[in-house]
Chain A
């Protein structure tokens, strides 16, 4: 028994040292990367102290041309769009972490019905793992994934689980460099693709998730408390069938009601609200604008923000 305990002790010590060493290496790679999926986007945003933050999922990351929007508004913009992070928990976590470091002036939430509908995918909250050691909000969200997260977090490698190859690729400059978090999409959706994708888009309306609603309320509350102006923006999605347009309209009305309850202005750029967004050449696929579409959308958004007098002032 004694021999086994000694062996296990020795093994634990060896693992501790290796875990610390490899974890430190991964953390360095992570902090250096600005890749929206596997990089320290939050760290880059607070280093830039960007007055305008765009937050959402892949549609945010591909639709809001940060440098163009920044030029039009006269203030740096950072885009926190992250693939698959369409739930309200991502908004809450990102806001909580950034507010610990500085106070932006304007928070643009890119929203769609998934912000509050369908269950929050708790596994996706793993995106906050790299901040879990230092940020209470990240720790809170990561803790929702499993009751064992605090134990797993004893490891310094674990926060970077499954990221090693992407981090190495980013380090070697193999990834497309984002522009203040914005990742342009090139190419154009063909009409056949448009029809197919529009037809395959989900039509059933999932239930509103109370957990998501709670996170949305907490995100807006935290931003408001620090005097950050919040605006909800629904960026364009390609729809063509009448049923899809009608459905999108209904979703828009629901989102407007949700944000009205919080006193947040809702800007609807959906194809149901603004028919000129039904032009397929502006899209890469049914859910994402290509760079041309993104530039046009960003310009229209800047106009709307200016019209609403939501142009930010740089502050600490």
Chain B
């Protein structure tokens, strides 16, 4: 059930209506039933995998709550890790590692026939695995008590708005909210609906529209010159942001209507003034997860400059692998790691190069945007060789005369969508939206809602594709 489908609209209405109508004590059960149904709409069989790992985590956490022996506790935590990461490895990475091993052996002159499972990837597995891991780790470090109520823990894992593509929630943030009795508040519900609408606009009008051009070009990058590939890459930069942040907006808006606040996932990332800043604005729930469960356990910034940078690099390497079982994602992670290291080294050894000031800030934003945009080539290309071709073409075969415009109307719709996005984000970044638009111009707000709906009908890609992050 895609968020950008009428199926979801009716599902949403069918869940939210009764949610406010039934007694508060039944709401958790109602949400659990709805969430399980939501997931089973995708893949009925894979719900068993969630139930299996959640059951293990439940009992592991319960034992962790009563066991004091350090070795036994480590063993319990390891058991949880093996269960969760094991499933993730089997479904997502096994074939990748086998293929890579076979390639290495072949290159070394020892061709092998590597086994392959060719399994279907359960939707949302990367997301709910990280949530489960965060839960048992927090219980292990006694940052969060072991959950006594199995249904509540299961609801934390399967809560439908964030189940498929995040935000990656934490038990301490989400579970207590299930216990609060959400009353119907007009402003909160309206804001939630507006957020859903903005998410739909970004997905249907911007992301899926840009995807038409991007998919055409990236299907055969070898047939296009640098100018075309650069535009496709630029479009993809906005496509992936709109696509992923749209999912987060719809998820957060849905939860907000029911009185639950999900973790924030995006904060206008293309206004970042450095790679570090970018990662504090992009997929925030993943960045903070890596910070809390990889970077800090590795030693964080407590062991000197170079060890800190080594830890950062490790985090980005793992982040790349998390995104997908393909060398392109690994290189994408390395790309960001390398530029972050470069920034850290510059900040330390040549601080005068990055003097503060408005012009300097604008230049840094522009430079960060260029670095991030070029990194998306690795993210979007089907293979490393495709990505290398794109880079070569952009820098050595620009050839504006042979630019491929595709369908001119598509380009115009795409450019219009980007312009709307930038206008809204600029106003928000500069604080104009909350200062002027929100409190004073109620009619303008309603007009904006109506315009968004009409644009969805007028130029939206109604039967658009899946959300990009669903594949992870």
Contacts and interface: CB of A to CB of B under 8 A. Distances in A.
Interface of A: 1, 3-4, 7, 11, 14-15, 18-19, 22, 123, 145-146, 148, 151-152, 155, 157-158, 160-162, 164-166
B454 A164 contact: no
Q: Which of B7, B457, B459 has the most CB of A within 10 A?
A: B457
Interface string B170-204: 00000000000000101001100000000000000
B463 interface: yes
A38 to B, nearest CB: 9
Interface of B: 5-7, 20, 184, 186, 189-190, 408-409, 412-413, 446, 449-450, 453-454, 457-463
A8 to B, nearest CB: 8
A14 B457 contact: no
A236 B459 CA distance: 36
B426 to A, nearest CB: 25
B190 A4 contact: yes
Contacts of A152: 6, 462
B449 A148 contact: no
B457 A158 contact: yes
Nearest to A146: B463
Given A152-B6, A160-B458, A162-B459, 20 more contacts: A3-B186, A4-B184, A11-B446, A11-B449, A15-B450, A15-B453, A15-B454, A18-B450, A123-B463, A148-B6, A155-B457, A157-B454, A158-B457, A161-B457, A161-B458, A161-B460, A161-B462, A162-B461, A165-B412, A165-B413
25 contacts: A1-B184, A1-B186, A4-B190, A11-B446, A14-B446, A15-B450, A15-B454, A18-B450, A19-B454, A19-B457, A123-B463, A148-B6, A151-B6, A152-B6, A152-B462, A155-B457, A161-B458, A162-B409, A162-B413, A162-B459, A164-B458, A165-B408, A165-B412, A165-B413, A166-B409
Given A14-B450, A18-B450, A19-B454, A158 B462 contact: yes
Contacts of A166: 409
Contacts of B408: 165
5 residue pairs, one from A and one from B, having the closest CB atoms: A148-B6, A165-B409, A157-B457, A3-B186, A155-B457
Q: Which of B20, B189, B449, B458 has the most CB of A within 10 A?
A: B458
Contacts of A4: 184, 186, 189-190
A199 to B, nearest CB: 13
Question: Chain B: interface secondary structure?
Answer: helix
Contacts of B460: 161
Contacts of B412: 165
B186 A22 contact: no
A4 B192 CA distance: 12
Contacts of B186: 1, 3-4
Nearest to B457: A157
Question: Chain A: interface secondary structure?
Answer: helix
A160 B454 CA distance: 12
Contacts of A161: 457-460, 462
Contacts of B458: 22, 157, 160-161, 164
A3 B190 CA distance: 10
A8 B453 CA distance: 13
Contacts of B6: 148, 151-152
Given A15-B454, A18-B450, A151-B6, A7 B463 contact: no
Nearest to A8: B193
A136 B62 CA distance: 62
B198 to A, nearest CB: 15
A124 B50 CA distance: 38
A160 B409 CA distance: 14
Contacts of A7: 190
A145 B409 CA distance: 23
A157 B189 CA distance: 28
A162 B462 CA distance: 10
A161 B184 CA distance: 36
Nearest to B7: A148
A33 to B, nearest CB: 14
A1 B463 CA distance: 32
A46 to B, nearest CB: 27
A157 to B, nearest CB: 4
Contacts of A1: 20, 184, 186
Contacts of A14: 446, 450
A1 B449 CA distance: 19
Contacts of B454: 15, 18-19, 22, 157
Nearest to A167: B409
A145 B463 contact: yes
A266 B77 CA distance: 73
Nearest to A158: B457
A4 B186 CA distance: 6
Contacts of B446: 11, 14
